[in-house]
Amino acid sequence: MKLEPYIFFHGTCEDALKFYVTCFRGKIEGLTRCSEAPPEYQGDPAWGNKIMHATFIAGDLRFMCSDGRPGTPPHGEDDIALSVATQDAAEGERLFNALAEGGDIEMALQQTFWGSRFGQVTDKFGIQWMVSIHS
């Protein structure tokens, strides 16, 4: 397993990524705009050009990011989530269920259009977790 920060930029993700490319001399990988997702994932049409998901890499530095969801203003405490990825389906399910105990499931663990099983949960301490199972 590996742990990666997931940062929500509330509509300024593209500008932030360009800034970090310059600062860290990094690169952007896997950028998906909201309009490129299946209709059930798209939400507000005005956000079609916003970034649904991207990964930033500079040497060993790596984080994932998004513009977030329309109408979700920055609060500070919900601007970063921790993302855990595994290739072991049983371990991914165990981890997701353990994190959900006493917490709130935001998105049940399910197959996604990008090919992974994925779920989001806020644990009982208020920490947002994203669990991905890559098989």
Whether the predicted pLDDT of 75 surpasses 70: no
Q: Quick one: pLDDT at residue 57?
A: 95
Shared fold status for 1-74 and 79-135? yes
Residue ranges per structural domain of the chain: 1-74, 79-135
CATH number for the region 79-135 comes to: 3.10.180.10
In the chain, what is the straight-line distance between the N-terminal and C-terminal CA atoms, in Å?
13
Which stretches within 30-101 are classed as H helix?
39-42, 89-100
Q: What is the mean pLDDT of residues 54-78?
A: 81
pLDDT level of residue 90 (50, 70, 90 thresholds): very high
100-123 pLDDT tens trace: 999 999 999 999 998 899 999 988
CATH number for the region 1-74 comes to: 3.10.180.10
SS3 category, 74: coil
Asked whether the beta carbons of 28 and 21 are under 8 A apart, the reply is yes
12-61 pLDDT tens trace: 899 999 989 998 889 999 999 999 988 877 778 888 899 999 999 988 88
pLDDT level of residue 135 (50, 70, 90 thresholds): confident
pTM here is: 0.70
The percent of the chain in helix, strand and coil, each rounded to the nearest 5, is 25, 40, 35
